[in-house]
Amino acid sequence: MARVVIVKLGGSVITDKSKPYSYRPDVASALAEEIASSDEKVVVVHGGGSYGHTAAKQQGISSEDAATTAAGVSKTRQAMHDLDNLLARTFMESRLSPYVFEPFDAALKAGKAQLGRWLRELMKQGLTPVTFGDVVLTPSGFKVLSGDLIVLELAKVLEPDRCVFAMDADGVYEEGTRVIIPELKPAKIRKMHVLPGQDATGGMKLKLDAAARIAALGPKVCFVSGYRRNEFSKALKGLEFYGTTVRA
């Protein structure tokens, strides 16, 4: 069975979170070109950045707080689709053939047992599956489903060799410093004190929690800067890179 790499493109990398609805085509293009030239079988998950998180904040919806109006659900989802369309276009311009799918709908229609086989078949046909953080119906209302949790769920069905998180930081820092922690164990992560982020999905705390759970399944998790193209390429290919590796 061909090895698979799951890549999470952080919303803070492919957009400028300080400016609502601001896409970074140059950064997205550089990352897409590295994926295209890697010869790896890649599934891409991307965050909402200044699209999804801006809309979610305006509509009062998050992973904890349910939407209060139907219009809020629609507007937040539309923002995610707008960003996804921009990224898909960049991918096509960078020699990739994206196949966009909505995570919740795909799992629901295919069933988790079939999802992995379906995604592998897409990759076999030369396509790059792409999905994103979404707004989904839960027992307590419509809430944001984080791309980080989608990576975790995909790791369960695809059994990837590694998961690469491209972020707006070089990796995980020692508390209160800018010193990179080169390697972390899931047990160490569970003891770390990390504050939830200010965005709609829990920020770095959720990323680390997801990474610990992914690593416990077997794959290694790489936290690398999405602005350091060469380091991203190394992490993607399973080479030594500047950043943080999480492994059991």
Structure tokens at 64: 């904890």
User: What's the pLDDT score for residue 107?
Assistant: 60
Does residue 245 carry a pLDDT above 50?
yes
Q: Is the dihedral of CA 75, 81, 85, 91 positive or negative?
A: positive
The phi and psi torsions of 229 (rounded to 5 degrees) equal: -55, -45
Per-residue pLDDT, 191: 78
- 17-31, 55-69, 195-209, 216-230: range with lowest mean pLDDT: 195-209
pLDDT at 194: 67
Angle, nearest 10°, between helix axes 103-110 and 147-158?
A: 30
Nearest to 131 by CA among 107, 110, 114: 107
Domain residue limits, the chain: 4-246
Instruction: Assess whether pLDDT exceeds 80 at residue 200.
Output: no
Q: Residue 199: what pLDDT?
A: 44
H helices present in 111-238, as ranges: 112-124, 147-158, 186-191, 203-217, 229-237
CB 66, CB 141: distance < 8 Å: yes
Residue 181 has pLDDT above 50, yes or no: yes
Name the one residue in this structure whose structure tokens are 């550089």: 30
Question: Which homologous superfamily does the CATH classification assign to the domain defined by 4-246?
Answer: Acetylglutamate kinase-like (3.40.1160.10)
Q: What is the pLDDT of residue 4?
A: 97
pTM above 0.75, yes or no: yes
Please report the pLDDT score of residue 6 as a whole number: 98
